[in-house]
Chains A and B, each alone.
Chain A
Amino acid sequence: DTEVTQTPKHLVMGMTNKKSLKCEQHMGHRAMYWYKQKAKKPPELMFVYSYEKLSINESVPSRFSPECPNSSLLNLHLHALQPEDSALYLCASSQDTMRTEAFFGQGTRLTVV
């Protein structure tokens, strides 16, 4: 099983809403990532979790809050987002942060209204 599952696939939220994106993998990977991708642009790294601890935060605004409850799950909590935060949010995992092959989920298309 080389699958990374993201839910929901689509999300529309208002600027005052609180929502969460979820990501799950059962490959035994110990590194998990959140990326943001705007249309026709490459993915941009947001957060890296290694062995369930946050190891990289690429200066992401605090309205994005990651959480790694266990080695298989990664959440991204959203609060008070802006319309410019609308994007495809991608989760990825790899065996470890020594950059073995990365596997991506299908993404959550987020629209902030």
Chain B
Amino acid sequence: KQEVTQIPAALSVPEGENLVLNCSFTDSAIYNLQWFRQDPGKGLTSLLLIQSSQREQTSGRLNASLDKSSGRSTLYIAASQPGDSATYLCAVDYTGGFKTIFGAGTRLFVKA
């Protein structure tokens, strides 16, 4: 069964801290993996997309890595700010029949 797991489920850190969010998936046959941010009651904002042939992508203070062989991706947030508080979701696009599977998300709270 194709599954996506995110750890931790929730995280509270002081402002300025660097942090890592984890995403693991059970099947390495993927097209890509995408990280999203979701504010309460809102839609999803795309942060980074990593194609299956890539190892990492960077955007500003965000860096996402992908290791297909181990079925893992990490989202690194540098110098966290209170405005980073949100739920972060990873979504894996599996090959063979078109299926996007979302993780349950990590709820991040950055304290000022």
Q: Which residues of B contact A6 (CB under 8 A)?
A: 43
Say yes or no: A42 contacts B102, CB within 8 Å. yes
Q: B21 near A: Cβ within 8 Å?
A: no
Q: B83 near A: Cβ within 8 Å?
A: no
Residues of A within 8 A of B (CB): 4, 6, 41-45, 48, 55-56, 88, 90, 92, 97-107, 109
Say yes or no: B104 contacts A41, CB within 8 Å. yes
27 of the cross-chain contacts (CB-CB < 8 Å) are A4-B43, A6-B43, A42-B89, A42-B102, A42-B103, A43-B44, A43-B102, A45-B99, A45-B100, A48-B98, A90-B43, A92-B44, A99-B31, A99-B32, A99-B93, A99-B100, A101-B49, A102-B100, A103-B46, A104-B43, A104-B44, A104-B46, A105-B43, A106-B42, A106-B43, A107-B41, A107-B43
Say yes or no: A42 contacts B104, CB within 8 Å. yes
Residues of B within 8 A of A (CB): 31-32, 34, 36, 41-46, 49, 89, 91, 93, 98-100, 102-105
**Docked complex Cα distance between A101 and B50 (Å):** 9
Residue of A nearest to B90 (CB): A42
Main SS at interface, chain B: strand
Say yes or no: B46 contacts A101, CB within 8 Å. yes
**Docked complex Cα distance between A97 and B93 (Å):** 10
Q: Which residues of B contact A43 (CB under 8 A)?
A: 44, 89, 102
| Given A42-B104, A56-B98, residue A98 in contact with residue B31 (CB < 8 A) | yes
**Docked complex Cα distance between A100 and B32 (Å):** 8
Say yes or no: A104 contacts B45, CB within 8 Å. yes
**Docked complex Cα distance between A100 and B31 (Å):** 9
Q: Determine how close the nearest CB of chain B comes to the CB of A36; give it in whole angstroms.
A: 12
Say yes or no: A42 contacts B98, CB within 8 Å. no
Say yes or no: A97 contacts B98, CB within 8 Å. yes
Say yes or no: B42 contacts A107, CB within 8 Å. yes
**Docked complex Cα distance between A90 and B89 (Å):** 14
